[in-house]
Amino acid sequence: MMIPPDIEEIARKIKTMEIRGAALIAETAVSCLKSIAERSRAKETNEFIKELDIVARRLLDTRPTAVSLPNAIRYVMYRVLQAEERGEGIDSLREITVKACDEFIKNAKEAIGKIAEIGARRISDGDVIMTHCHSTAVVAILKAAKAMGKSISVYATETRPLYQGRLTAEQLLQNDIPVTLIVDSASRYFMKRVDKVLVGADAVAANGAVVNKIGTSMVALAAHEARTLFFVAAETFKFSPETIIGELIKIEERPKEEILPPEIAMKGLKGIEVRNPAFDVTPPDYIDLIITERGIIPPQAALTVIQQELGPIIYEKLGMYSTYRES
């Protein structure tokens, strides 16, 4: 099967970051699987599964770090493969796929609602919050805190090189939350005025380390030094089952043109080596709490969350839907 052009276009948009943020990437991938299931003309179950498999692998190829992407794909494929094993027919498989996709998206939306409510309770009236990058979960918490009548203000780092902080600032302004945009390197300068740092996550490892936009660990270090609380907001589908068995979360390196576009690359810099890692790892020691839809946990409880929420995904035959392995 050829990948349909509209799905190919979505994969391109994820790679170029027109579609970005761990939650949105996962939901978009699941919508693609749903669309493939709905339009499939497969007569045999194995043909149907092959079609889903090709698209799943194409999507996994787009961005390697956000573990929400393989977890979302495995959520769907686990249910489809189980149904196949039970001997269900093609119509039933199609139905099960669509249902699993709808269920994942519904759960993801509900998770954000719960995280917003739980997280907002941890924000006090008058708090000054610092955030880095753009996270749907973080914006949802800040909006909920405001809706609870808490007066808050935010420092948003601009987030080089792609300036996702501007998006955060825009969304906060739209919600009448006072926000000050700062350069990433000013985060330590302002840290003493900050009560809490709140960031999202692309992946949470079994030891409670959090992978998020490059620069997050630097902000965490500054928070640690200033004894400022450091909170992470992450749905449980961002927890990485592979890290239990010692896999490392792959850090995406993006094109150097994002840092040094050809039109500004001066002659003197021609051919210069540029590195552009998109994410970094914040160790659990710098994290006070992780806010999930199941409640607030210390980073040390990440392993338990993985075991409870993602158990079947690890132990069943879904290793191939991973961004950690060549397959």
Q: Which residues pair with 210 in a beta bridge?
A: 204, 282
Fill in the per-residue mask, 218 to 257: x = in contact with ligand RUB (CB under 6 A), - = not in contact: ----------------------------------------
28 near ligand RUB, rule: CB under 6 A = no
Using CA atoms, how far apart are residues 118 and 249, in angstroms rounded to an integer?
27
Radius of gyration of the chain (CA): 20
> Looking at 7, 10, 22, 220, which residue binds ligand RUB (CB under 6 A)?
22
37 near ligand RUB, rule: CB under 6 A = no
Q: Is 101 a catalytic residue?
A: no
Structure tokens belonging to residue 15:
């790679």
Q: Please, what is the minimum distance in Å from the beta carbon of residue 4 to ligand RUB? A: 24
Using CA atoms, how far apart are residues 301 and 312, in angstroms rounded to an integer?
18
Q: Is 133 a catalytic residue?
A: yes
Distance, C-alpha 127 to centroid of its chain: 25
136 near ligand RUB, rule: CB under 6 A = yes
Using CA atoms, how far apart are residues 159 and 154, in angstroms rounded to an integer?
14
- Which residue has tokens 């592979």? 242
Helix (H) or strand (E) holding 90: helix 90-121
Q: Which of 87-95, 169-177, 200-208, 282-290 is the region at the interface with ligand RUB (rule: CB under 6 A)?
A: 200-208
Fill in the per-residue mask, 257 to 286: x = in contact with ligand RUB (CB under 6 A), - = not in contact: ---------------------x--------
302 and 290 in contact (C-beta within 8 Å)?
yes
143 near ligand RUB, rule: CB under 6 A = no
Q: Which residues are tagged catalytic? A: 133, 202
Site of interaction with ligand RUB (CB under 6 A):
17, 20-23, 66, 133, 135-137, 164, 200-202, 212-213, 278
